[in-house]
Amino acid sequence: MLLGLMPLAVQAAETKPQRIISLAPHTTELAYAAGLGDKLIAASDYSDYPPQALTLERVANYRGIKLERILALKPDLILAWKGGNPPREMEKLEQLGIRIFYSHPASLAAIADTLETLGQFADDPSVAQRAAGDFRQTLTQLEQAYRHQPPVRYFYQLASSPLMSMSGNSWPSQVFSVCGGENIFADSPVAYPQVSKEQVIVRQPEAMFAAFGSAGPDPQVFSLWQSWREQIPAMQRQQLYQVEVDWLNRPTPRALLAAKTICKQLDEVRHRATK
């Protein structure tokens, strides 16, 4: 039974689940934020936030899901990633009558909507409602604060070998947009395009961004641009920034932490431009 597109009233009428499995790190994080943490019995690899998620059994990774183990755990709700979990195995679970909620927030506003939807499965939906309300309030404050700020052209270095970035419609471009960031590859027809150094140089980014993991910021992440230091405004002015990868890449409430960080960094670029 697919629940991602069902009306909230219909979902609420369903029996409250007691045994939930999450098949993606972002759905694990959303589940805890929506007050479902005490019902989670298993999760995917890299489900590491909040800390209590680390104690959950692992039943999925980037290679696929452990179908037999999931069935043995007898979940009554599975939280899945639309486009991220293998469709064939998911179809098998659906055919066996297991309820599945597909999550794929495509915008910051959709994160709050997803929280409220997940809250329908909680014993106390008010937890999710408060979380969604807080999220919307903070997002609105950021949008109002940066709505009229001058745009800043930026390059997001998703990977360096091969060199990759993101389009304007793909995550996490929306996070930068809140702060007035203007993606130099916004018009790419591919969600995550492979780009050339020449394309970046021609587009003249004023700021360059990358994400860092648990090891912390990488001082060498932008080293491939040293030979073009005089040709790229971001390199000339050393407007090179790194943001915590899980804040930036996961569509969860922590995306606002990434937004706040990026807004401050883009403010720095604007301030320097006025000197």
Name 20's Cβ contacts closer than 8 Å, sequence gap at least 6.
Answer: 31, 36, 39, 40, 41, 75, 76, 77, 78, 79, 121
Q: What does the pLDDT read at residue 213?
A: 94
Domain boundaries, the chain: 8-139, 149-273
* Assigned architecture for domain 149-273: 3-Layer(aba) Sandwich (3.40)
* Tens-digit pLDDT profile for residues 176-198: 999 999 999 999 999 999 999 99
pTM flag (> 0.85): yes
- Confirm whether 8-139 and 149-273 share one CATH topology: yes
Q: Is the pLDDT of residue 32 over 60?
A: yes
| CATH class of the 8-139 domain in this structure | alpha beta
CA distances from 239 to 150, 154, 184, 229 (A): 16, 10, 15, 11
Radius of gyration of the chain (CA): 20
Pairing mode of beta strands 57-61, 64-65 = antiparallel
Give yes or no for a contact between 130 and 152, defined as CB atoms under 8 angstroms apart: no
* Tens-digit pLDDT profile for residues 33-70: 999 999 999 999 999 999 999 999 999 998 899 999 99
